[in-house]
Amino acid sequence: MAAETQTVTAQDVEDAFLRLQNTVKTTPLEKDHYLSKKYECNIYLKREDLQWVRSFKLRGAYNAISVLPASQQNKGITCASAGNHAQGVAFTAQQLNLKAVIFMPVTTPNQKINQVRFFGGTNVDIRLIGDTFDDCLKEALAFTDAHDMTFIDPFNNVNTIAGQGTIAKEIIETANNEQIEFDYLFGAIGGGGLMSGVATYFAEYSPQTKLIGVEPLGASSMFQSISQDKVITLQNIDKFVDGASVARVGDITFHICRKYLDHYLQIDEGAVCSTILDMYSKQAIVAEPAGALSVSALEQYKSQIKGKNVVCIISGGNNDINRMKEIEERSLLFEEMKHYFILNFPQRPGALRQFVNDVLGSHDDITKFEYLKKSSQNTGTVIIGIQLQNHEDLTALLKRVNQFDPKNIYINENKMLYSLLI
């Protein structure tokens, strides 16, 4: 069946809601006073980070699996995922007492593997195969065919989409009870399953709401596909926002999003990191990168949303604590607060003191310094990191660095050097 003829209706979402109501948590829709004050409007957060598996993916996985005929369920299910979808499938397999074989790339962090094992228990067989997701997916599909099992797609499946759409039903029910009409809704797009389901239900029950799909800048596969009016595959993606970094969106989700969504935003990964840190420090919310996308988008819409009612879907909270140093680093780079240089230092006593006195501002701080003295040369190469207190001091810093060493290399502008050295 052609993708454009496979669609989801509001009734499909209603049916999914009935299947899920005794299994999936009804997550809170909370007014956020910090964001509301910051953007001078009424902002509500749909807290899917508080779902049983800490993401919305459980909804789609459970609905897609529960509608399978008993004959298919008994043969078992499979999926390929390095994250939230795998946890949703594992949770469902244990709830329905089904056999599930979950394929994950060899590079998957132990934290995610352990979470899948925790939710699935003895019902789940985890296979670590392939260095990339594409290799893993290929093996999963071959295994599925060879063993006559059912593959559960994370987004390109009408039942998965309908399950994700139950978020919209919960939002609208709460809004009706509190007599709120939402002017805007922001939600993350990876493969498109979340916003396809939400948009389908909102089109029926809240058509006045503007629906904004938000993608990471380095993996904007839906925006690129919409722009070219066909599904395209991105050759290279930035995988940092792992829950929404998809090279190719679903054919079904493409047609639904093209029909219902009003706009698409692309958010720099550094801005996402700043949002994660802000949400943690100001609101005590632990959001994963994909979960922070919707809130990151508010900055680009601050003039349009002033005085309006806005809902942001916090799609997930599976953020590995080991990533926080990288998140802070990316945030500082995006905010133009941290800067790295390769400099030639004179090999004489007092050279560092001269640099501190002549180059550093009164509030600047050295965060990295690597120097290897070579007795046969007059100068030595230094890698230095400088953190500013105010990004407006950057112009003056660059001028002083250029005066100290006109041949310096500004590492921030060279991604290859940055990845290699920092």
Does residue 2 fall inside a structural domain? Answer: no
Residue pair 197/171 in contact by the 8 Å Cβ criterion: no
Does residue 387 fall inside a structural domain? Answer: yes
Last residue of a domain, one of 327, 351, 384: 327
- Looking at the fold, whether 180 and 138 belong to one and the same domain comes out as no
Last residue of a domain, one of 288, 305, 327: 327
Q: Determine which helix (DSSP H) or strand (DSSP E) holds 87, and give its type and residue range.
A: helix 84-96
Does residue 156 fall inside a structural domain? Answer: no
Tell me, what CATH number does 98's domain have? Answer: 3.40.50.1100
Does residue 1 fall inside a structural domain? Answer: no
- Looking at the fold, whether 301 and 345 belong to one and the same domain comes out as no
Distance (Å, whole) CA 316 – CA 116 = 15
- Looking at the fold, whether 288 and 358 belong to one and the same domain comes out as no
Query: What are the DSSP calls for 136-192, one per residue?
Result: HHHHHHHHHHHTT-EE--SSSSHHHHHHHTHHHHHHHHHHHHTT---SEEEEE-SSS
Cβ partners under 8 Å of residue 43, min gap 6: 31, 32, 35, 36, 298, 305, 310, 311, 312
Tell me, what CATH number does 401's domain have? Answer: 3.30.70.260
Residue pair 76/140 in contact by the 8 Å Cβ criterion: no
- Looking at the fold, whether 231 and 176 belong to one and the same domain comes out as yes
- Looking at the fold, whether 217 and 239 belong to one and the same domain comes out as yes
CB atoms within 10 A of CB 96: 16
Does residue 347 fall inside a structural domain? Answer: yes
Distance (Å, whole) CA 164 – CA 161 = 5
Last residue of a domain, one of 148, 176, 207: 148
> What pLDDT is recorded for position 415?
87
- Looking at the fold, whether 218 and 290 belong to one and the same domain comes out as yes
Structural domain count, the chain: 3
Residues of the chain with pLDDT under 70: 1-5, 375-376
- Looking at the fold, whether 230 and 347 belong to one and the same domain comes out as no
Q: How far apart are the first and last CA of the chain?
A: 49
Compute and round to an integer the Cα radius of gyration of the chain.
24
Query: What are the DSSP calls for 195-230, one per residue?
Result: HHHHHHHHHHH-TTSEEEEEEEGGG-HHHHHHHHTS
- Looking at the fold, whether 111 and 33 belong to one and the same domain comes out as no
Does residue 155 fall inside a structural domain? Answer: no
Does residue 154 fall inside a structural domain? Answer: no
- Looking at the fold, whether 189 and 269 belong to one and the same domain comes out as yes
- Looking at the fold, whether 218 and 319 belong to one and the same domain comes out as yes
CB atoms within 10 A of CB 236: 8
3 state SS for 16-31: HHHHHCCCCCCCCEEE
- Looking at the fold, whether 141 and 31 belong to one and the same domain comes out as no
**Helix 84-96, helix 57-66: angle, nearest 10:** 40
**Helix 251-260, helix 193-205: angle, nearest 10:** 40
Distance (Å, whole) CA 69 – CA 81 = 23
349 lies in which domain range? 336-420
Distance (Å, whole) CA 221 – CA 42 = 30
- Looking at the fold, whether 395 and 302 belong to one and the same domain comes out as no
**Helix 84-96, helix 110-120: angle, nearest 10:** 20
Instruction: Give how far Cα 1 sits from Cα of 153, 154, 193, Å.
Output: 16, 19, 18
Does residue 68 fall inside a structural domain? Answer: no
